[in-house]
Amino acid sequence: MSNLEWKYAETVERRIRVMKVNYKERHLDAQNIDDNVPLCLEAQEGLDLNRIKKAKIYNATIKVSTAELSGDLERQLTELSMEDAKLRHSLKVMKQSGSQFKKFELIAIK
Q: Is residue 87 in a domain?
A: no
Please report, in tens digits, the pLDDT of each residue of the chain (110 residues total): 457 789 999 999 999 999 999 999 999 999 999 999 999 999 999 999 999 999 999 999 999 999 887 778 778 888 888 888 888 888 888 777 776 788 999 999 99
Q: Is residue 104 in a domain?
A: yes
- Structural domain boundaries enclosing 15: 7-68+99-109
Q: Is residue 23 in a domain?
A: yes
How much is the pTM?
A: 0.79
Q: Is residue 78 in a domain?
A: no
Q: How far apart are CA 14 and CA 35, in angstroms?
A: 9
- Give me the chain's average pLDDT, please: 90
Q: Is residue 84 in a domain?
A: no
- pLDDT score recorded for residue 98: 72
What is the number of structural domains in the chain?
Answer: 1
Are 91 and 81 contacting, i.e. CB atoms less than 8 angstroms apart? Answer: yes
CATH of the domain at 49: 2.40.50.140
Helices 85-96 + 71-81 axis angle, to 10:
150
